[in-house]
Chains A and B, each alone.
Chain A
Amino acid sequence: MTAFQIILMGFLIICAVSVSFSKNLLNAILIYMSFSLVMSMLWICLESPDLAITEAAVGAGITSVLFFVTLKKIRAIEASEPEAKGESREEKNE
Chain B
Amino acid sequence: MSKKRPASEYQKTFAFRFFRWLSGEKDPYIGEMEMHPQEEYQPDREAALRHEREHDAIMDKVYDTEHNRSLHLFHRLYQATSILFCLFLIALLLVTISYLPATGTVNRPVNNEVAKRYIEKGLEETGAVNIVAGMILDYRAFDTLGESHVLFVATITVLILLRLNKTQKDEAEISDRRFEPKNDAILQLVATFLVPVIIIFGIYIILNGHLGPGGGFSGGAVIGAGLVLYLNAFGFKKTERFFTEKTYKWVCFFSLSFYCLAKSYSFYTGANQLHSVIPKGTPGAILSSGLILPLNIAVGLVVACTIYAFYAMFRKGGF
Contacts and interface: CB of A to CB of B under 8 A. Distances in A.
A5 to B, nearest CB: 11
A57 B225 contact: yes
B15 to A, nearest CB: 41
Interface in B245-262: none
Given A76-B179, A80-B171, A91 B205 contact: no
Contacts of B44: 82-83
Nearest to B313: A69
A58 interface: yes
A88 B44 CA distance: 9
B41 interface: yes
A65 interface: yes
Q: Give the size range of A's interface with the partner.
A: 20 to 34
Contacts of B221: 54, 57-58, 61-62
B217 A54 contact: yes
A54 B52 contact: no
A interface, over-half SS: helix
A84 B175 CA distance: 15
Interface string B213-224: 111011001101
A88 B51 contact: yes
A88 B213 contact: no
B122 to A, nearest CB: 14
Interface string B279-319: 00000000000000000000000000001001100110000
Contacts of A52: 213
A23 B143 CA distance: 40
Contacts of B148: none
Interface in A44-94: 49-50, 52-54, 57-58, 61-62, 65-66, 69-70, 72-73, 75-77, 79-80, 82-85, 87-89, 91-92
Nearest to A76: B175
B314 A82 contact: no
A80 B175 contact: yes
Nearest to A68: B314
A88 B43 contact: yes
Interface string B10-45: 000000000000000000000000000000010111
8 contacts: A54-B217, A61-B221, A76-B178, A77-B175, A79-B175, A80-B171, A87-B41, A88-B51
Task: Report, nearest first, the 5 A-B pairs whose CB atoms are least far apart.
Answer: A49-B213, A57-B221, A88-B48, A82-B44, A54-B218
Interface of A: 49-50, 52-54, 57-58, 61-62, 65-66, 69-70, 72-73, 75-77, 79-80, 82-85, 87-89, 91-92
